[in-house]
Amino acid sequence: MKVGIIGASGYTGHELVRILSRHKGVSLAIANSRSHAGKRVKELYPDFGGNLRYTDYSIDEINRLKPDAVFIALPHGLSADMAIKLDRGIKIIDLGADFRFSDMKTYEKIYNVKSPVKKNTAVYGLPELFRERIKKARIVANPGCYATACILAAYPVQKYAKYIVFDCKSGWSGAGKESAYAKDPSIVKDNLIAYKLTSHRHKYEIEQFIKAPLSFTPHVFGAFQGMMCTAHMLLKKNMKKSEIIKAYSSFYRNAQFTKIADGVPEIRSTQKTNFCSIGGFETDENNQLVVVSTIDNLIKGASGQAVQNMNLMLGFDEAEGLL
Could you give the residue numbers annotated as active site? 145
- Alpha helices, H only, 26-120: 41-44, 59-65, 79-85, 104-111
Q: How many CA atoms lie within 13 A of 120 on its CB side?
A: 20
Amino acid identity for residue 11 in this structure: Y
Using CA atoms, how far apart are residues 157 and 194, in angstroms rounded to an integer?
Answer: 27
Separation CA 173–CA 81 (nearest Å): 26
226: left (phi over 0), alpha (psi -120 to 50) or beta: left
Contact yes or no for 222/247 (Cβ under 8 A): no
Tally of CB atoms within 10 A around 105:
10
Neighbours of 22 (CB within 10 A): 11
Strands (E), 88-244: 91-94, 123-124, 139-141, 161-171, 192-194, 214-221, 227-235
Q: Are 139 and 84 in contact (CB under 8 A)?
A: no
For residues 225 and 244, what is the distance between their CA atoms, to the nearest angstrom? 29
Instruction: Quote the DSSP letter at residue 278.
Output: E
